[in-house]
Amino acid sequence: MTATATAVDRLAIDTIRTLAMDAVEAAKSGHPGTPMALAPVAYTVWKDFLRYDPSDRQWPNRDRFVLSCGHASMLLYALLHLAGVRRGGSPATGSEELAVPLDAIRRFRQLDSVCAGHPEHHLIAAVETTTGPLGQGCGNSVGMAMASKWLAARYNRPGHVLFDFDTYVLCSDGDLMEGVAAEAASLAGHLRLDNLCWIYDDNAITIEGETELAFSEDVGRRFEGLGWRVERVADANDTAALGRALEAFKGETKRPTIVIVKSVIGYGAPTKAGSHASHGAPLGAEEIKGAKACYGWPADASFLVPPEVPARLAATCGARGREARRLWQQGLEQYRHAEAAAATELGEFLGGTLPSGWQQRLPTFPADPKGLASRVSSGKVIEALSGAVPWFLGGSADLAPSTMTLVKDAGSFGHGDYSGRNMHFGIREHGMAAACNGLALCGLRPYCATFFVFFDYLKPALRLSALGELGVIYVLTHDSIGLGEDGPTHQPIEQLASARAVPGVSVFRPADANEVTETYRVVMGRPDRPAVIVLSRQNVATLDRTGLGPGTGVARGGYVLKEAYGGRPDCILIGTGSEVSICLDAATMLAAEGVRARVVSLPCWDLFAAQDAAYRESVLPAAVTARVACEAAGGFGWEKWLGTAGVFVGMNSFGASASAGKLYEHFGITAAGVAAAARRTLGR
């Protein structure tokens, strides 16, 4: 159990506080109050509980520490610096440089510093996840806890425990007000994730003022109702009480734990301490001097790190983590001898490689004019991938029968059996996506699914997938007015443009079953980039590729599907998804009139844009300005490929309730409509 803080511990806590004050003051922006108030809490977690080896930040069984209240980023940067966390990988091969050197803290929030205003995983790999948008870290932590449970169920054996890591989260009033945290907490309670601990900073302050303006619920009772253990600490400075609460978490075997800690924001500053102003603004030179005097700190010293502080963390967190990692490595060697087959699979997982032969498991589909809905062919590919890649797993927001993401014989992930790979996220799109980010951060390859119209419900988490370079796969079905009778509330119109606008995300809309297969082939090879795979409810023909370009063209984002007669097109018809077949039919109509039309399938815009200029020119030659694009969605963004003379055939309004066929006729998204547009571009 944690003892009362020693003089060195108090010195360490005050070092965190003063680093936060100095960094925010130097930057002239930032949030000093929360790091000051929570310094005793975070320090206690790291010193006494976190199983973490600073010399090997990639150790797979390390405990995770998530700062969901990312505005308190200086708290995390100070801890990473003081704990001596190294930038490189394993001690044998990694860099000995600090992940967060003091000079980076001095340049807090500056362009050339890794210490951004909010913690960013892609800048500092030792930052477990990118946080800033409140609630997201809470959602990520649920995925991390799920990953620990799944990895344990998959690879642990009697006498060989390789995975049992815990996840600790610091969260704020703002986190718990956000809906994504509520979704995540509900899911965690249902799954009985006893390896998850949220530490809630109950400081009764937000940007606008006291929380009583908008937040008066009993958080403890809410979490009890969600199936959590609730511990309370009356004073954030009472490290002994905090230690007892965390010991209770360690002993819990059936529920996640929330520790509700009362704090005063900016604790220690003598004048404005506890005031709203200290939440999101520098304290000012005079107040900093007063605060330092209160701590017994040299008033004129800036960015002072007494040598006793790193030494204290090295002797506690560092020594404990180093020994735990050594025993783990020793156990892994024993495992390799005792469980050879499982060890081989685990080696591939830990090495970040896919199992050999996985691509050979992908299906090819015979030509079929009736075809399949692309959501159905996607389900068949997911089934094949599940059999080839053990750590490929995921689920849907209660829509697995419609999104075709339920894998036969893969089992359901739940508190009775954490080995299942079908994850049931419930009707919690935002929490689902945030949890999948957490799964990806633990090395798994997760997919999550819902109807495309609900893209807006999960987009904030998808944006962080992109920012954090996480290979989450978003399987989004019912992609257009083609879903039919459910009507405009369920018919996505603007979502394609919205998804394509997110940097670092690849959006695929495959035209037939074999393009679906090639889409997954591309996506699985890119573990550092999220993908949105947009799929139809209605059947699309599986193309007879005789005389057509192969589906492998998906790997380049776009390709010539059908060449114009003689190879010299008068016009180019460009389509994605279910509208590619419409373009093919339109080309046949135009050919009968002597118009030579090339058909281009453009399933992934950003991949096509990444190709060299010569390839793009070979597909969309600049000299051919007569172009028509067809997509059963809004046309925003298509001007990039159409140029000034091109015509878009698609939607410029919301949809309507009717069968798919009637809707396509009603809105003019037909072969005749595309052919007519082509004639207009040619002046005929």
What is the rounded CA–CA span in Å between residue 535 and residue 558? 17
**Element spanning 422, H or E:** strand 422-424
Other CB atoms within 10 Å distance of the CB of residue 427: 14
User: What are the DSSP calls for 500-548, one per residue?
Assistant: HTSTT-EEE--SSHHHHHHHHHHHHT-TTS-EEEE--SSEEEE---TTS
Report CA-CA distances (Å) from 519 to 333, 353, 382, 459.
38, 19, 11, 21
The dihedral of CA 531, 537, 542, 543: what is its sign? negative
Question: HEC profile for 209-239?
Answer: EEHHHCCCCCHHHHHHHCCCEEEEECCCCCH
- Residue 403's CB is within 10 A of a number of other CB atoms, namely 27
- β-pairing verdict for 257-262 and 368-373: unpaired
* The two three-digit tokens of residue 638, written as one number: 């298509």
Name residue, tokens 């008068």.
570
What dihedral do alpha carbons 637, 451, 148, 223 form, nearest 10°?
Answer: 110
Report whether 175 contacts 168 (CB < 8 A): no
| β-bridge partners, 230 | 258
Q: Are strands 571-575 and 559-562 parallel, antiparallel or unpaired?
A: unpaired
Q: What are phi and psi of 333, to 5 degrees?
A: -65, -40
User: Is 524 in contact with 445 (CB distance < 8 Å)?
Assistant: yes
Contact 430, 179 (CB under 8 A): yes
Given the residues 25, 120, 429, 515, the one annotated as active site = 429
Q: How far is CA 321 from CA 55, 75, 88, 165, 333, in A?
A: 9, 20, 16, 12, 18
Cα–Cα dist 478/102, whole Å: 51
- The verdict on whether 469 is a catalytic residue reads no
Instruction: List residues with catalytic annotation.
Output: 429
